[in-house]
Structure 1
Amino acid sequence: MGVKMKFKKLWYDSISFIKLIKADHPGIIWVIAVGGLAGAAGPFTQLFFYSRVLNKVLKGLYKECIPDVVILLTAALVLSLIKKACDQSVKVLREACADTIYLKTANKAFSMEYEEFEKTETMDAIRRVQGGENSSGGIGDQIQSIYVLIEKGFAILFSLIFVIVLFTRTKADSSNFFTSIWSTLLIIIVFLTVFFLCLKLSAISYRKFYEVEKKNEHFNSFGVYLLAIMNNYQFGKDIRIFSMQGLLEHYFKKTMKTINSVFLKWSIKDGSYTAVIVLLTQLTSGLVYVVLGGKAVYGSISIGEVFMYAGVILELTGAIRSEIIEYNSFYYRSDYLNTYYEFINRPNNRYTGTLPVEKRTDGEYEFVFENVSFHYPGSDNLILNQINLTLKVGDKYAIVGKNGAGKTTLIKLLCRLYDPTEGRILLNGIDIKYYDYQEYTKVFSVVFQDFKLLALSLEDNLTLGEEADKERIWEVLTQSGMRSAVEKMPSGLQTNLYKNNGEGVEVSGGEAQKLAISRALYKNGPFVILDEPTAALDPIAEAEIYENFNSMIQGKTAIYISHRMSSCKFCDDIIVLDGGVISERGSHNKLLKEDGIYASLYNAQAKYYA
């Protein structure tokens, strides 16, 4: 990439990043600007007044030094206080901005289409950003880079002003090199040459570093995964029983060996580049001292100015070195942070409706599938094919079929986690895509087969941030058979689940499933969907759920998905899916008489209970 394109990209990335952090923290730009200005001005203020004081002391003008000393101390104190205040503010804002960006990322993940979120490329993008965050710095480090770039930019500007003053004050005596303008021009030319050489060397070093980072993305991710397993108590039993320690240690050592070998090669090259940069800057500093010393010897500048301009040149050298490092760091880190921008600003492709869902106290919500077909993105294999189905108000439905028949996919379409490839789904005669999505999801109380509980209080797991109705909570816990277990917990409803966030209780798979059922019942949606809701329950608990099934759903419309055919007896209508189509439909007794797929599935299980 050419220098012009590189600077253009840097400018675009800088503006994009500033807009991103400024949206929620508008004051951060002023803090960075003021802090950078104060930090850069401090050393030059001291050098200027040191020079004045030294010249007056050498002339014996001690009283005249007092105003300069007062101004020097006052300016140093004020600038130091401003700089420290801004440093602390930036430190706090770094964390705040990082938290804001993470929250925006989470909000985008919450709001984006589920089918987009589930895609491999979306997960890869998120993992890539996380990998960059762990190894190359993230939002906070990028803010710090901007802070340093601005401060050192001001320092370079002040240095150039001093150099211009030195240039204009040089006596036009061409008979002597040190008193001629050529000595000053030599310093400027050498500095520019060294600057661009160091910039080039640093850019090569950082480019190689980020090439190494990209090559190691997979190994970094795998290493983090292995560490998470080794430090996760939930894997403890398996590790001990199956003696997995050796396997995990083998892969971890192998991964770290690969990572370390790659970084060792890079560090050797980086060390050579750094050595050349340091050598060039030190030689330049030496040249400056020689030229300034010559000017002082031949009376072109005073002794005080020698120290002042020497200090200025040292500040310029340090500022240039820091500017180069931060410039390249900012430039290459932007590749990772751009993934944030792309993810946060990714448009939602799904049509978002605005119609509110009619609030009905009678639960009269009827769904109709009209010629619905569906295949997952990137695949031509139809999971559902021309489904026509009406789900009448108040009825209890069972959806059964072999693995891969399309049962869970049908539920995902009903909940609008995916949109049909063909056809449409109607709620009370209106295509569901025209409803406001948040309003639409309130219709459903769902227990997914792969449900998740949070490592928070039991009450939070049931109410999910809504104002708690204690009477309702105990009612649903009674219906699911979990009341007595909760009453025995150390802090009742305030007991934390699991130990991820400190002290908590470990619930069994069956208890977790009962809590998931309680959560669905507490939501009190008019349409209940239970996907394998008793898979982890013991036979007695399962029988209790079946016996209380009618009272639990209280006249709501319900869909029950299960591989246990005996559970279908409690349903009014059984829908058998096979190969993505409805192959059979009817009551339990009717389907047994037809002796089809349902009967074969039922009899295959029933013979073990004979």
Structure 2
Amino acid sequence: MKKKIKDFFKQNICILLIFYLAFIIAYFLDSYSFGYILSLLEEKNMNFTKFTGIILLFYAIIFICKFMSDILGQKIVYLAFKSRMEQVQSLVDKTYKSKYQYFEDNNFMSTLNRAIDFFGGDNIGYQNVIIDMVYLFPYLFLVIISGVTIGKNNIFIVLLTLILTGLSFPIKQKLNDFDIDTDLENGQIGEKLEYFQEITTDNSYGKDIRTFALKPIILERYEELAKAAKDIINRRTNLATVLAILSLLIEVLNDGLVLYILYLSRNELSLALIFLIFSMYILLKTMFKKVLETLADLNKNAKLFTDYDATLDNSGQEYNDSQMVNKLEGFDIEFKNVSFAYPGSENIVLDNLNFNINSQDKLGIIGENGAGKTTLIKLLIGLFDPSEGQILINNKPSTADQRLEYFSSVFQNSLLFAGSIGDNLFFNEDSLASDKVEYARSYFAENTLKKDGQLIDLTTNIGQDFYDDAFKPSGGQEQLLLILRALVQDAGMLVLDEPTSALDPSKEIEFYERIEKESKERGFIVISHRLAVSNIVDKVIVIKNHKIEDIGCHDELIKRSDYYRHLRDLASSMYESEAK
């Protein structure tokens, strides 16, 4: 963060210097003014015209300097905001270049969310650090000027003020330490509260809440979290109240002692000088307190930033989207003694997998829910590296980033983004090939994808939060669009995770027929717990209890695998019930 702050000051040094000069002159003369006016009144040969001219000039300087400092202050706030947004963009870029596995690590995601908050607020975090640093220098300069002005007449007042006001630093630091200590806990509670608030405001949860009478348990859990949040706020409020009272007592003591010292010096100092010293004392006390509070806040924010930055730096910034290439040529992939456990967990999700596939294969991966099918695909396409073993491409060890180049995928929880359908289908292409456009249009027609009775097209918008006339696809329609997005990419192999889970049996059969028809040039992998997929694939990998149970074609597996026949019987009964 030090480098970022230094860069900000270097880039805006001229504006900052002018701001400092105007700010210091304005505040110093404002505090100096009353004592100076009294000194003018004490001069017996001062006539009204001269007195008025001096006062007008004096306050004109104050007005101009205050006006300039206010205008430049707003400019600096804008520049700090601009710098903050650049850091947010850098953070987002850094995040997207993190290995995917960290997005399934709760601690990493919690830290990431708090880091985004750190950079996302106008008056907290990074922007607050910049503003604090900008004002720290004029505060310090005013402390020095006011201290020197007072010290010429009574150094004891300066020392007393610095000592007593200095006690505000450990007071402020105590409160900041509390914020740092509760940052993780507060962040986690806040995320959970946001989840329940989302449930309350998102009408897509409404049916389930009413159907299953979930209101009592949702409210109960929300109240538990709210109670925990209130407890943290209550503890902070109590601590802040005690510290505020202590700070106030110290300030009253300081004011009282300074007034007593001035009272004792009343015979030695003129009234104008007494007012001048007291005005300078107020300036010294105020600015020194601001210096100490600013340093305490900078210390807190620096610690938080260090924690966030360390976590993000440890996420292994290895993914580079500039490496994306087309892999339409044939390739072989081998899993060699591959095992995998999710980050932060010791539970083995996949255990000692060994198999080979070719990019022209038509492959099905079958297994019951929780067997590890989706995790297997995440390893294959490069979202994870194995915990043990190797994944080879053309007999060479591969990294997760390299494998990402070879596949176009659709997962059960894949999403469409706010924008046009064309944006969603061809987001990484500068120009659209006419054959892809025509293919998309024929796909819309064959699957009867309509909005208000009319076929959708590439300009149709998706995203209710962005567009009033947005297309609101059903679950099946959204799945068809996600599949189309995979089909139009120039990847070497298609990967489809439960692609027909939102389709009825007739649509499922049509879908598989289409996949078989459109994949003459490249292979595909279909993950499913339904055996209907076996009709279009050449080979099936059967997963059971996180291991490969068997590999073979449908006819071979029917003959030799009891578990495969069990899955067939389950699928048959499901189709019969759906047909009824």
Place the TM-score, normalised by the shorter chain, in its bin.
Answer: 0.7 to 0.9
Contact 1:37/1:154 (8 A) holds in 2? no
Q: CA deviation at 1:354?
A: 12
- Where does residue 102 of structure 1 map in the other structure? 88
Once residues 566 and 506 of structure 2 are traced to their aligned partners in structure 1, the CA distance between those partners, rounded to angstroms, is 25
Once residues 58 and 374 of structure 1 are traced to their aligned partners in structure 2, the CA distance between those partners, rounded to angstroms, is 87
- Where does residue 178 of structure 1 map in the other structure? none
Q: 1:374 to 1:349 in 2, by over 3 A?
A: farther
- Where does residue 346 of structure 1 map in the other structure? 314
- Where does residue 443 of structure 2 map in the other structure? 479
Once residues 429 and 334 of structure 2 are traced to their aligned partners in structure 1, the CA distance between those partners, rounded to angstroms, is 31
- Where does residue 540 of structure 2 map in the other structure? 574
Q: 1:24 to 1:461 in 2, by over 3 A?
A: farther
2:168 matched to 1:198?
yes
2:14 matched to 1:39?
no
Once residues 355 and 461 of structure 1 are traced to their aligned partners in structure 2, the CA distance between those partners, rounded to angstroms, is 19
- Where does residue 450 of structure 1 map in the other structure? 413
Provide structure 2 residue ranges, at least 5 long, that are not aligned to the other structure: none
Q: 1:583 to 1:22 in 2, by over 3 A?
A: same
- Where does residue 458 of structure 2 map in the other structure? 493
Contact 1:22/1:29 (8 A) holds in 2? no
Q: Name the amino acid aligned to 1:341.
A: D
- Where does residue 320 of structure 1 map in the other structure? 288
Once residues 356 and 196 of structure 1 are traced to their aligned partners in structure 2, the CA distance between those partners, rounded to angstroms, is 56
Q: CA deviation at 1:88?
A: 1.0
RMSD: 3.6
Contact 1:21/1:97 (8 A) holds in 2? no
Q: CA deviation at 1:258?
A: 4.5
- Where does residue 69 of structure 2 map in the other structure? 83
Contact 2:460/2:471 (8 A) holds in 1? yes
Once the two structures are superposed, residues 33-84 of structure 1 have per-residue CA deviations (whole angstroms, 9 ceiling, x without a partner) of 6534532331213445665554344323346557745653453244223312
Q: Name the amino acid aligned to 1:61.
A: M
Once the two structures are superposed, residues 526-550 of structure 1 have per-residue CA deviations (whole angstroms, 9 ceiling, x without a partner) of 2111111111112222122122113
Q: CA deviation at 1:265?
A: 5.0
Q: CA deviation at 1:134?
A: 8.1
- Where does residue 361 of structure 2 map in the other structure? 395
Q: Name the amino acid aligned to 2:442.
A: T
Once residues 376 and 475 of structure 2 are traced to their aligned partners in structure 1, the CA distance between those partners, rounded to angstroms, is 26
2:193 matched to 1:223?
yes
- Where does residue 134 of structure 2 map in the other structure? 147
- Where does residue 467 of structure 1 map in the other structure? 430
Once the two structures are superposed, residues 170-220 of structure 1 have per-residue CA deviations (whole angstroms, 9 ceiling, x without a partner) of xxxxxxxxxxxxxx2431332133123333333334444555666544443
Contact 1:98/1:139 (8 A) holds in 2? yes
Once residues 285 and 583 of structure 1 are traced to their aligned partners in structure 2, the CA distance between those partners, rounded to angstroms, is 82
Once residues 375 and 256 of structure 1 are traced to their aligned partners in structure 2, the CA distance between those partners, rounded to angstroms, is 34
Once the two structures are superposed, residues 464-503 of structure 1 have per-residue CA deviations (whole angstroms, 9 ceiling, x without a partner) of 3533528424513533745642685698434432423453
Q: 1:61 to 1:103 in 2, by over 3 A?
A: same
Once residues 267 and 498 of structure 1 are traced to their aligned partners in structure 2, the CA distance between those partners, rounded to angstroms, is 41
Farther off after superposition, 222-231 or 200-209 = 200-209
Contact 1:285/1:317 (8 A) holds in 2? no
Once the two structures are superposed, residues 80-130 of structure 1 have per-residue CA deviations (whole angstroms, 9 ceiling, x without a partner) of 233123321232234333333332332222111122332233123235546
Q: 1:474 to 1:76 in 2, by over 3 A?
A: farther
Once residues 355 and 500 of structure 1 are traced to their aligned partners in structure 2, the CA distance between those partners, rounded to angstroms, is 30
- Where does residue 3 of structure 1 map in the other structure? none
- Where does residue 180 of structure 1 map in the other structure? none
Q: CA deviation at 1:511?
A: 0.9
Q: 1:228 to 1:155 in 2, by over 3 A?
A: farther
Q: How does 1:509-520 map to 2 (within 5 A)?
A: 509-520=475-486
Contact 1:477/1:483 (8 A) holds in 2? no
Q: CA deviation at 1:252?
A: 3.8
Q: 1:588 to 1:263 in 2, by over 3 A?
A: closer
Q: CA deviation at 1:376?
A: 3.7
Percentage identity across paired residues of the two chains:
23
Provide structure 1 residue ranges, at least 5 long, that are not aligned to the other structure: 1-16, 168-183
Contact 2:448/2:455 (8 A) holds in 1? no
**SS of alignment partner, residue 523 of structure 1:** coil
- Where does residue 567 of structure 2 map in the other structure? 601
Contact 2:550/2:561 (8 A) holds in 1? no
Contact 1:476/1:521 (8 A) holds in 2? no
Q: CA deviation at 1:556?
A: 0.7
Contact 2:410/2:499 (8 A) holds in 1? yes
Once residues 227 and 526 of structure 1 are traced to their aligned partners in structure 2, the CA distance between those partners, rounded to angstroms, is 42
Q: Name the amino acid aligned to 2:139.
A: K
Once the two structures are superposed, residues 309-344 of structure 1 have per-residue CA deviations (whole angstroms, 9 ceiling, x without a partner) of 221111112112333333333333444333332234
Once residues 322 and 397 of structure 2 are traced to their aligned partners in structure 1, the CA distance between those partners, rounded to angstroms, is 10
Q: Name the amino acid aligned to 2:244.
A: T
Task: Give the TM-score of the pair, scaled to structure 2.
Answer: 0.85
Farther off after superposition, 400-409 or 529-538 = 400-409
Q: Name the amino acid aligned to 2:464.
A: K
Q: How does 1:535-546 map to 2 (within 5 A)?
A: 535-546=501-512
Q: 1:358 to 1:491 in 2, by over 3 A?
A: closer
**SS of alignment partner, residue 230 of structure 1:** helix
Contact 1:212/1:263 (8 A) holds in 2? no
- Where does residue 171 of structure 1 map in the other structure? none
**SS of alignment partner, residue 560 of structure 1:** strand
Q: Name the amino acid aligned to 1:428.
A: N
**SS of alignment partner, residue 368 of structure 1:** strand
Q: 1:519 to 1:310 in 2, by over 3 A?
A: same
Contact 1:398/1:571 (8 A) holds in 2? yes
Farther off after superposition, 485-494 or 456-465 = 485-494
Once residues 364 and 485 of structure 2 are traced to their aligned partners in structure 1, the CA distance between those partners, rounded to angstroms, is 21
Q: 1:203 to 1:366 in 2, by over 3 A?
A: closer
- Where does residue 524 of structure 1 map in the other structure? 490
Once residues 333 and 565 of structure 1 are traced to their aligned partners in structure 2, the CA distance between those partners, rounded to angstroms, is 56
Q: CA deviation at 1:505?
A: 3.3
Selected match of 2:335 from 363, 369, 385: 369
Once residues 452 and 461 of structure 1 are traced to their aligned partners in structure 2, the CA distance between those partners, rounded to angstroms, is 10
Once residues 417 and 324 of structure 2 are traced to their aligned partners in structure 1, the CA distance between those partners, rounded to angstroms, is 29
Q: How does 1:359-438 map to 2 (within 5 A)?
A: 363-379=329-345, 381-433=347-399, 437=401
Q: 1:419 to 1:477 in 2, by over 3 A?
A: farther
**SS of alignment partner, residue 543 of structure 2:** strand
Q: CA deviation at 1:30?
A: 6.0
Once residues 493 and 235 of structure 1 are traced to their aligned partners in structure 2, the CA distance between those partners, rounded to angstroms, is 30
Q: CA deviation at 1:420?
A: 2.6
Once the two structures are superposed, residues 270-309 of structure 1 have per-residue CA deviations (whole angstroms, 9 ceiling, x without a partner) of 33432332333234334434544654643x4x44433332
Q: CA deviation at 1:421?
A: 3.3
- Where does residue 278 of structure 1 map in the other structure? 248
Once the two structures are superposed, residues 379-432 of structure 1 have per-residue CA deviations (whole angstroms, 9 ceiling, x without a partner) of 555444443433224221112233344322322222122223343323234322
